[in-house]
């Protein structure tokens, strides 16, 4: 049995840890936030709950599809059956594709929580550095250092992986190529239904990329709660604004799509510095001699499924080396 440290409790880190633990290894995940799920996140507040990161996910790989079917029977997730439209410079059309989309129950983190069952996660533990001495890895954070790991996995966005990966220059050089676009999200509760005949829409040409009635997802409480995602370009240009300044700007952007926006009860903006990634298409990165690897959506393809595949890929590379 080997000891493995995983940094990051998003879907990539959790699935990698799960595979290693299922093979009999002792795995500990370090996660800087209070929750499990990373960008598959739900925020609860006075206005209710909002999935403010990943909105839904698709499943194209047969292995992921089979996991989805299994977790659906366990009530961890469900298909999304809302009406999805495409709005492009004033023209509204229904989205024609019939690709199944899924959401976690009661929120997006459910998938990661289910996969992490039985795996040790140390929350609120930001890893500041990792180092290898005589073949053993140490993890250094605010709470001190943990020694004695046989292998180390980075499962965090590329920009956050870079300072941790410098100890293995071959990996760091590839990590440096990873990219993420930013995204400002607005979580807004309206006093009355938005006068539209869709539940979610891809938007083109109004500073917004996506809008979704959160309560149109299965298992959510009723209410006119919407999540608006600004485009990557708009988010980049306005990245350093205060959240309070972003909210009215994105409501104005929404008025371009829906002129009669009802009164707002509450609107809170959330800045994702590292949101969607174009993906490097390499699965995962692994140095067998160092027993050091990196995974995440940015390695594979910038979606939930891409992150899952990346974690699976890294576990398959790491297991024979343990």
Ligand X SMILES: Cc1cc2nc3c(=O)[nH]c(=O)nc-3n(C[C@H](O)[C@H](O)[C@H](O)COP(=O)(O)OP(=O)(O)OC[C@H]3O[C@@H](n4cnc5c(N)ncnc54)[C@H](O)[C@@H]3O)c2cc1C
Q: One symbol per residue from 38 to 77: x for binding ligand X (CB under 6 A), - otherwise; what is it?
A: xxx------------xxxxx--------------------
Told to check if 33 binds ligand X by CB under 6 A, we report yes
Number of residues that bind ligand X (CB under 6 A): 37
With binding defined as CB under 6 A, does residue 9 bind ligand X?
Answer: yes
Q: Which two tokens stand for residue 159?
A: 């920009």
Q: Which is nearer to ligand X, 129 or 192 (CB)?
A: 129
Give the residue from 307, 105, 305 showing the smallest Cα distance to 218.
Answer: 105
Percent of the chain that is helix, strand, coil (3-state, to 5): 25, 30, 40
- Cα–Cα distances (Å) from 84 to 52, 183, 271, in that order, read 18, 21, 24
Q: Quick check: bond before 219 cis, omega within 30?
A: no
Beta carbon nearer to ligand X, 141 or 263: 141
DSSP state of 252: H
Selected from 160, 231, 238, 284, the binder of ligand X by CB under 6 A is: 160
∠ Cα 282 284 290 (to 5°): 125
**Binding letters toward ligand X, positions 188-227, x by CB under 6 A:** ----------------------------------------
Report d(CA 180, CA 37) in Å as an integer.
18
Residue 10 as a binder of ligand X (CB under 6 A): the answer is yes
Within positions 281 to 300, which residues make up the interface with ligand X, using CB under 6 A?
Answer: 296-297
Stretch that binds ligand X, among 73-81, 88-96, 250-258, 269-277 (CB under 6 A): 269-277
Q: Which residue has the tokens 């990161």?
A: 53
Contacting range for ligand X; rule: CB under 6 A; set: 6-14, 17-25, 233-241, 313-321: 6-14
Contacts of 167 (CB under 8 A, 6+ apart): 130, 131, 132, 290, 292
Residue ranges that bind ligand X, judged by CB under 6 A: 7-13, 30-33, 38-40, 53-57, 126-127, 155-157, 160, 183, 185, 229, 272, 275-276, 296-297, 302-304, 307
């Amino acid at each position: 049995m080997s000891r493995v440290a995983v940094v990051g409790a998003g879907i990539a880190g959790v699935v990698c840890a799960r595979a290693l633990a299922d093979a009999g290894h002792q795995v500990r995940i370090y996660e800087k936030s209070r929750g499990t799920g990373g960008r598959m996140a739900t925020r609860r507040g006075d206005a209710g709950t909002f999935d403010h990161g990943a909105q839904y996910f698709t499943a194209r790989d047969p292995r992921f599809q089979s996991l989805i079917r299994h977790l659906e029977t366990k009530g961890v997730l469900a298909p999304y059956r809302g009406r999805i439209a495409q709005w492009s410079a004033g023209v509204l059309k229904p989205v024609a594709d019939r690709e199944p989309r899924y959401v976690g129950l009661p929120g997006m983190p459910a998938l990661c929580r289910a996969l992490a069952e039985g795996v040790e996660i140390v929350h609120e533990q930001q890893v500041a550095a990792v180092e290898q001495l005589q073949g053993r890895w140490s993890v250094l954070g605010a709470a001190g250092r943990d020694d004695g790991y046989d292998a180390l996995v980075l499962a965090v966005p590329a920009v956050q992986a870079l300072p941790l990966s410098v100890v293995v220059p071959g990996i760091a050089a590839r990590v440096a190529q990873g990219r993420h676009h930013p995204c400002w999200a607005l979580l807004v509760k309206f006093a009355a239904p938005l006068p539209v005949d869709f539940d979610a829409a891809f938007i083109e040409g109004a500073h917004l990329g996506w809008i979704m009635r959160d309560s149109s997802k299965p298992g959510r409480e009723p209410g006119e709660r919407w999540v608006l995602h600004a485009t990557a370009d708009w988010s980049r240009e306005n990245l350093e604004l205060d959240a309070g300044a972003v909210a009215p700007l994105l409501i104005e952007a929404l008025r371009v799509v829906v002129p009669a926006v009802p009164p707002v009860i509450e609107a809170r903006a959330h800045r994702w510095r590292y949101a969607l990634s174009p993906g490097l298409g390499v699965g995962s990165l692994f140095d067998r001699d160092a027993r050091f690897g990196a995974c995440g959506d940015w390695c594979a393809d910038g979606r939930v499924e891409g992150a899952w595949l990346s974690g699976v890929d890294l576990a398959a590379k790491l297991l024979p080396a343990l």
